[in-house]
């Protein structure tokens, strides 16, 4: 079975496998550390390996040498299992979402309703991707958690933007 290694940090947030990606130095490891401090789990820092399992899901694992370690600029290499306890570590997780960290951008009106969403292929399978703007003073962990909760709602059939548009259209049609 073919595998694919990607640059990023694979974490579990509210039960979702989430790959944090972005240019070097954008804050992937710092965000992962914040998420771990909030009770989420680490699968792999830097170079998670992905493969498709028998059920057709993309599964991410950590190279054995890196298991439990997280490199954070300014702090160096940390063993997060020893810092937070071994339950913070997980050997593998299905990939459900990619969060791309990028410098702030000016949102166009469509972004205000739907955000910056796309799909990326990993091992040939489409995976939802959301661009999260990195801005000083904003809680990236809160944004990442909100993105995960919203992705779960979307997976379960609810789209907040479509609900808002529908409600707005009903108001217009009612003449209010």
pLDDT at 89: 97
pTM of the predicted model, to two decimals? 0.92
Q: How far apart are CA 67 and CA 58, in angstroms?
A: 19
For residue 155, list its beta bridge partners.
none
pLDDT at 119: 95
pLDDT at 147: 96
pLDDT at 107: 58
Residue 142 token pair: 């809160």
- Residue 160's CB is within 10 A of a number of other CB atoms, namely 13
Residues known to be catalytic: 7, 28, 46, 112
The series of mean pLDDT values per 10 residues for the chain, 176 residues long, is: 91 98 94 97 96 97 96 95 96 97 67 86 96 89 96 95 93 85
Q: What is the DSSP string of 95-149?
A: --EEEEEEE--PPPHHHHHH-SEEEEEETTEEEEEEEEEE-TT--HHHHHHHHHH
pLDDT at 116: 87
């Amino acid at each position: 079975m073919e595998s694919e290694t990607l640059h990023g940090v694979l974490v579990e947030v509210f039960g979702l496998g989430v790959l944090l990606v972005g240019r070097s130095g954008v804050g992937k490891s710092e965000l992962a550390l914040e998420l771990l401090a909030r009770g989420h789990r680490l699968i792999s820092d830097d170079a998670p390996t992905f493969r498709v399992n028998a059920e057709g899901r993309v599964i991410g694992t950590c190279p054995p040498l890196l298991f439990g370690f997280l490199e954070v600029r300014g702090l160096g290499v940390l063993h997060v299992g020893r810092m937070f306890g071994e339950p913070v570590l997980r050997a593998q997780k299905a990939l459900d979402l990619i969060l791309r960290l990028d410098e702030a951008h000016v949102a166009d009106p469509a972004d205000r309703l739907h955000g910056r969403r796309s799909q990326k292929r990993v091992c040939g399978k489409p995976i939802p991707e959301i661009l999260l703007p990195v801005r000083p003073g904003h809680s990236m962990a809160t944004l990442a958690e909100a993105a995960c909760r919203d992705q779960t709602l979307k997976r379960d059939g609810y789209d907040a933007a479509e609900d808002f548009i529908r409600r707005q259209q009903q108001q217009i049609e009612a003449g209010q």
